[in-house]
Each structure stands twice: as structure tokens, then as C-alpha cells.
């Protein structure tokens, strides 16, 4: 059977029970660590789920306080830990390091013996320190990789991160923190601390990819005698070659993710539309269109185009929680050109008209928010909730929607979902007046409740017209 460790799985290959066969440790959702014992061989692997890794008889959980960013009243547990295994204290056995998601810290669990089944007895030793203070990788999402990166005999730590709740002007601080390096020395290695770590400039050349939650691993994948990088982030995997040496590494980080030219790969898409009218469905994700090459299984999408012209961008940031970014293309005013609709953190839906001419592409980047007949703005999601103690309020409405003429009256209507999973139908009553040409909407009708946030879409599923 396929190995299913649940949402947000973070695997680590290691001989955890000391029998010479490589097992799997998997960090998984809601702050748990799973152990899959290899009951086969290293050539013919057969994994048996042994359940949760425990400490003092209870499921191991990394601490979820303190938070560098966010309210401790909201985050009552962590998401998933990223495991790393290494002889951190230099006593000859394998210890466990776990990267915390909401804390951005790396926690040390010392191996102090063996259980009857060979698995380590773990003792919690607290968070690692760097430069004599608790190590934080940059707000959230520690993903430790331990390696002697420069061959000096001391263990070093690399990690990605996820900057959170960035305020205006903070983006510049994090533009080069996609990966971080904490160089190690042995000045104070003890059973409770491990090597001393110091934040050091990452030995890189080029511009890091724009991404978050980077998880680095090292391997000499080009067989030239030095360690290179394999980095995952979201659905992307990057190969970053070391063009330096084993003792003076230099990683080429200005690279594109590995491309999958065919096959049943995960397809990141917000919409499928025939963008270039060639009879094939293209992929739209945010403001990027990937054109369908017309071959592959089921297809592959190679060339990319931008929805928006150079110099124009449409967003409605809140600078709160995870913020929210949900653009959607539809010819809403039915003039033959695709407009941009946008669902924001606050639960509003914006209309950005396509004002392009034959000579120039152009959108109304300021936009207007849709409203009801009484002038009240369309609003879904949390209302008057405490963001300091309510997770849903902190994360906002998570506004999603789809568009169609559902009542066949010639007007484009909305079906809208929110963070609570409530699905509402908003009937368009047409423009309030000829000057605005912006439709107003009837009081919504609740048509479903998923109980948890989801996406909404529409299609003629049974081909009945």
C-alpha cells in the first residue's frame, strides 16, 4: 500500500533502530513524529508503521512557544516538525533535531540509550542557540539540515524559513534569507548543547528563488567531490550546484525548479482556460499563464505569459495573518476581454476591469469592491472576532469564489466560499446605474456548509446543458 503519513509530511531517512536497515522518520500534521521501521532490506525496503515517536511515554511534541511573530493565544499547537538526525553531542550515537513550524526554532532531543526494540530513548534538551541566544531562522518554519559544509571538522546547520506578518519596509530584510547558514565550532560542545553556532553569510552566487518553507539537504549529486544542495519548497525542487570546493563551497542559487515534462505530476492551477484560443486548456496561477503544448500525459505546459502588462500589479494586502491573495479571471462585464476579480483577506471581492485596447494592455489596478443593492459591501468570513485569540479571525476570510450566469438572466453571478466553509450564492441584479457599469448583488443565499475552508468551482458535470 502507498505510505500515507498525512498532511504536511516531512521525511528523514535514518537507521533509527540500529539494525543496519534505513528506516523513515516523518514529521506530520499537528505536531507529531511517525516512525516507519524497515522490516526488509536497504535494497528491498518494506516499511511497517510503528506509530508515534514518544518521549517519557507520551507522543513527542515540539514546543509551540514562544512565537517570533503571531499571537500565542491563537496558535495552541504546532503544524508539523521537520526532523534531522545526527550525533549532535559527539558521544557516538544518533540524536534527534526537530525544526519547529510556528516557533522557527530547532529543538534538540538527546539519545540517552536504547529501548528493547532498538529505538533511541530521547531526552529533551531545549532549543539550539546561535550567537549565545535561541536560534530563530526568521519567524517561522525551521527545517534543519546538519552537515560539515566546509570540511573543517565542525557540524554546521542550514535551514529555510517563512517570514511572517511582514510590515511595510520589512521585505528587504528577508530577500536573502531563503536559506541560512549557522557555522559550527566545538568551543562548547556538551551533552546538553552540542556545537556552538554562529549566523554566517550563506556561500551563494546569484539570486535565491522567491519561495518560503525551504528544506535543504546535501548530496554530491554531480559526483565532483563536494557537497551540492537539493532544496524543496512547496511543490518545487531545486538543484543548487556547488561550484566552489569541498572546503570553500559556493552554491549557484539562481536556478529554476526541476521541470517535469510529462506524467501525472501535481499541477498547480487556479483556473484552466483556453488563453490563446488554440483549443487546449492553459493553466492560470495568480497572474501567470502557462500555455498547453498539446502533448504529454495528460498534457504539459511550457511557455509562460503574464496576465498583467509590465508595470501593473493588482493586490489588496492586509498585513495580518497569512494575508490572502486570490485573483480570478472572468469576462465579468462581457465585453470580450478577461477582467480580474480579487478575493481579499477582509472577505470582500474586487472588480478590476480590463481596459485594454488594440494598442495597449491595461487594467484598472485600483478596482472597486462589489456591494449589495443597499450599498453594503459584500463580506464573508469572520466578523468582529478577536484576532489575538481566534485563529480564524487572524487568518481572515480566505475568500474564494467562482463566476457564472447561474440563473440565466444574462448577468454574471457569484458563488463564494470562506474560511468557515460556508458557500453562498450572490445573484447579480445588474448595474445600479449606467454610469457605474458595476453590478450590485442581492442578499446572499447559503447553499452549503463544508465545515472547513475549501475551494469552489463550477462545471456542467453531467453534460445536461
Residue 110: give its domain's CATH number. 2.115.10
* Per-residue model confidence as pLDDT tens digits over 411-461: 999 999 999 999 999 999 988 766 667 899 999 999 999 998 889 999 888
What's the domain range around 224? 10-252
Q: Do 231 and 329 share a domain, yes or no?
A: no
Q: Do 232 and 368 share a domain, yes or no?
A: no
Q: Do 316 and 247 share a domain, yes or no?
A: no
Domain-embedded: residue 275: no
Domain-embedded: residue 273: no
Q: Do 322 and 392 share a domain, yes or no?
A: yes
* Per-residue model confidence as pLDDT tens digits over 113-151: 999 999 999 999 999 999 999 999 988 999 999 999 999
Q: What is the mean pLDDT of each run of 10 residues along the chain (465 residues)?
A: 88 97 96 97 96 96 89 86 96 97 96 96 96 92 96 96 77 80 78 82 93 93 96 90 96 89 69 93 95 82 93 93 91 95 97 96 97 94 84 90 95 96 96 77 96 90 87
Domain-embedded: residue 3: no
| C-alpha closest to that of 250 among 162, 181, 172, 185 | 181
Q: Do 217 and 313 share a domain, yes or no?
A: no
Task: Name 71's bridge partners.
Answer: none
CB 339 within 8 A of CB 353: yes
Task: Name the burial class of residue 459, with classes exposed (0-12), middle (13-18) and buried (19+) by CB atoms within 10 angstroms of its CB.
Answer: exposed
Q: Do 241 and 356 share a domain, yes or no?
A: no
Domain-embedded: residue 145: yes
| 106-114 vs 120-127, strand pairing mode | antiparallel
CB 121 within 8 A of CB 111: yes
Domain-embedded: residue 2: no
Domain-embedded: residue 261: no
Q: Report the domain count for the chain.
A: 2
Q: Do 74 and 191 share a domain, yes or no?
A: yes
**Nearest-5° Cα angle at 348, 342 to 351:** 40
Residues 6+ apart with CB under 8 A from 463: none
Report the C-alpha gap between 365 and 191 in whole angstroms.
58
Q: Do 124 and 246 share a domain, yes or no?
A: yes
Q: Do 315 and 224 share a domain, yes or no?
A: no
Domain-embedded: residue 385: yes
Q: Do 239 and 382 share a domain, yes or no?
A: no
Report the C-alpha gap between 80 and 98 in whole angstroms.
10
Domain-embedded: residue 267: no
C-alpha dihedral, 208 to 214 to 217 to 221, nearest 10°: -50
Helix, strand, or coil here: 171? Answer: helix
Q: What is the model's pTM? A: 0.71
Handedness of CA 380, 386, 392, 398 (dihedral sign): positive
* Per-residue model confidence as pLDDT tens digits over 374-385: 999 999 999 888
Report pLDDT for 294. Answer: 87
Q: Do 320 and 221 share a domain, yes or no?
A: no
Q: Do 120 and 246 share a domain, yes or no?
A: yes
The residue from 222, 252, 282 where one domain ends is 252
Amino acid at each position: 500500500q502507498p505510505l500515507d503519513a498525512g498532511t504536511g509530511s516531512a521525511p528523514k531517512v535514518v537507521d533509527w533502530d540500529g539494525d543496519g536497515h534505513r528506516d523513515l522518520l516523518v514529521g506530520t500534521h499537528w505536531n507529531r513524529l511517525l516512525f516507519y521501521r524497515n522490516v526488509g532490506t536497504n535494497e528491498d525496503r518494506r516499511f511497517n508503521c510503528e506509530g508515534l515517536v514518544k518521549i517519557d511515554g507520551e507522543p513527542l511534541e515540539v514546543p509551540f512557544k514562544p512565537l517570533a511573530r503571531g499571537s500565542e493565544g491563537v496558535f495552541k499547537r504546532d503544524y508539523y516538525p521537520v526532523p534531522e538526525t545526527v550525533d549532535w553531542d559527539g558521544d557516538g550515537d544518533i540524536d534527534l533535531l526537530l525544526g519547529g513550524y510556528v516557533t522557527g526554532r530547532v529543538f534538540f532531543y538527546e539519545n540517552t540509550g536504547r529501548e528493547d526494540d532498538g529505538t533511541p530513548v530521547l531526552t529533551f534538551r531545549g532549543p539550539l542557540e546561535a550567537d549565545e541566544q535561541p536560534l530563530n531562522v526568521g519567524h517561522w518554519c525551521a527545517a534543519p539540515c546538519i552537515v560539515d559544509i566546509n570540511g573543517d571538522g565542525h557540524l554546521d546547520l542550514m535551514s529555510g524559513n517563512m517570514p511572517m506578518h511582514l510590515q511595510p519596509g520589512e521585505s528587504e530584510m528577508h530577500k536573502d534569507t531563503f536559506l541560512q547558514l549557522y557555522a559550527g565550532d566545538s568551543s562548547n560542545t556538551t551533552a546538553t548543547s552540542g556545537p556552538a553556532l554562529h549566523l554566517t553569510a550563506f556561500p551563494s552566487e546569484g539570486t535565491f528563488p522567491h519561495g518560503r518553507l525551504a528544506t535543504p539537504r546535501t548530496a554530491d549529486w554531480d559526483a565532483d567531490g563536494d557537497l551540492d544542495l537539493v532544496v524543496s519548497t512547496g511543490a518545487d525542487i531545486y538543484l543548487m550546484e556547488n561550484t566552489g570546493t569541498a572546503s570553500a563551497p559556493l552554491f549557484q542559487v539562481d536556478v529554476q525548479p526541476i521541470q517535469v515534462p510529462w506524467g501525472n505530476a501535481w499541477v498547480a492551477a487556479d483556473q484552466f482556460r483556453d488563453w490563446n484560443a488554440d483549443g487546449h486548456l492553459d493553466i492560470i496561477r495568480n497572474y501567470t499563464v502557462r500555455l498547453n503544448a498539446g502533448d504529454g500525459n495528460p498534457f504539459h505546459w511550457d511557455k509562460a505569459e503574464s496576465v498583467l502588462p509590465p508595470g501593473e500589479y493588482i493586490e489588496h494586502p492586509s498585513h495580518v495573518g497569512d494575508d490572502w491573495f486570490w485573483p480570478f479571471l472572468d469576462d465579468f462585464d462581457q465585453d470580450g476581454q478577461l477582467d480580474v476579480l480579487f478575493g481579499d483577506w477582509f472577505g470582500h471581492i474586487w472588480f478590476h476591469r480590463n481596459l485594454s485596447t488594440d494598442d495597449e494592455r491595461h487594467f484598472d489596478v485600483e478596482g472597486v469592491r462589489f456591494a449589495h443593492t443597499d450599498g453594503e459591501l459584500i463580506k464573508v468570513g469572520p466578523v468582529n472576532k478577536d484576532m489575538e485569540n481566534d485563529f480564524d479571525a487572524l487568518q481572515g476570510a480566505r475568500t474564494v469564489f467562482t463566476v457564472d450566469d447561474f440563473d440565466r438572466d444574462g448577468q454574471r453571478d457569484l458563488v463564494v466560499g470562506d474560511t468557515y466553509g460556508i458557500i453562498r450564492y450572490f445573484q447579480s441584479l445588474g448595474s445600479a446605474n449606467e454610469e457605474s457599469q458595476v453590478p450590485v448583488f442581492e442578499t446572499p443565499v447559503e447553499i452549503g456548509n463544508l465545515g472547513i475552508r475549501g475551494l469552489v468551482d463550477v462545471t456542467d458535470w453531467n453534460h445536461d446543458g
